[in-house]
């Protein structure tokens, strides 16, 4: 079945350090989305990537979609305590599975002041 793997599961950084989480699929994705979930909260949409090799930026966050549309990454430059939370990627697959939004296992980011 369609699966989306995400690493690392947990990352602890000092405030000001950079952070990256990676998302991988065994099959080609139609598109990929990224969400952030604050502790005790619900997932909130960050961005969607659709095109092969696409790169999008939101302030200190940089999102990439691989050339083969099988992997993606989220990079945060100079982390702040407000970045704390779990980051999820979520992918849609081609064919009949495009109606399903399949989430990765998430990366929990802890930022020490």
Q: Could you give the CA distance from residue 38 to residue 27 in angstroms, rounded to a whole number?
A: 29
Q: Binding other proteins by CB under 8 A: which of 22, 69, 92, 111?
A: 92
Please report how close the Cβ of residue 93 comes to other proteins at its closest, in angstroms.
11
Query: 110 CB contacts (<8 Å, ≥6 apart)?
Result: 10, 11, 12, 13, 84
Tell me which stretch binds other proteins (CB under 8 A): 1-9, 12-20, 56-64, 67-75: 1-9
Q: Binding other proteins by CB under 8 A: which of 42, 82, 95, 113?
A: 42
Residues 100, 93: contact at Cβ < 8 Å? Answer: yes
Distances (CA, A) of 67 to 33, 101, 109: 16, 21, 26
> Is the Cβ of residue 41 or residue 53 nearer to other proteins in the bound state?
41
Applying CB under 8 A, the site for other proteins has a residue count of 26
Q: Binding other proteins by CB under 8 A: which of 59, 82, 95, 99?
A: 99
């Amino acid at each position: 079945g369609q699966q989306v793997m995400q690493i690392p599961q947990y990352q602890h950084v000092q405030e000001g350090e950079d952070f990256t989480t990676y998302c991988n699929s065994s099959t080609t994705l139609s598109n990929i989305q990224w969400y952030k979930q604050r502790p005790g909260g619900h997932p909130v949409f960050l961005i969607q990537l659709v095109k092969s090799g696409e790169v999008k930026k939101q302030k200190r966050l940089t999102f990439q979609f691989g050339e083969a549309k099988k992997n993606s990454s989220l990079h945060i430059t100079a982390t702040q305590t407000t970045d704390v939370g779990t980051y999820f990627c979520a992918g849609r697959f081609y064919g009949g599975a495009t109606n399903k939004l399949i989430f990765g296992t998430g990366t929990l980011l802890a930022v020490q002041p």
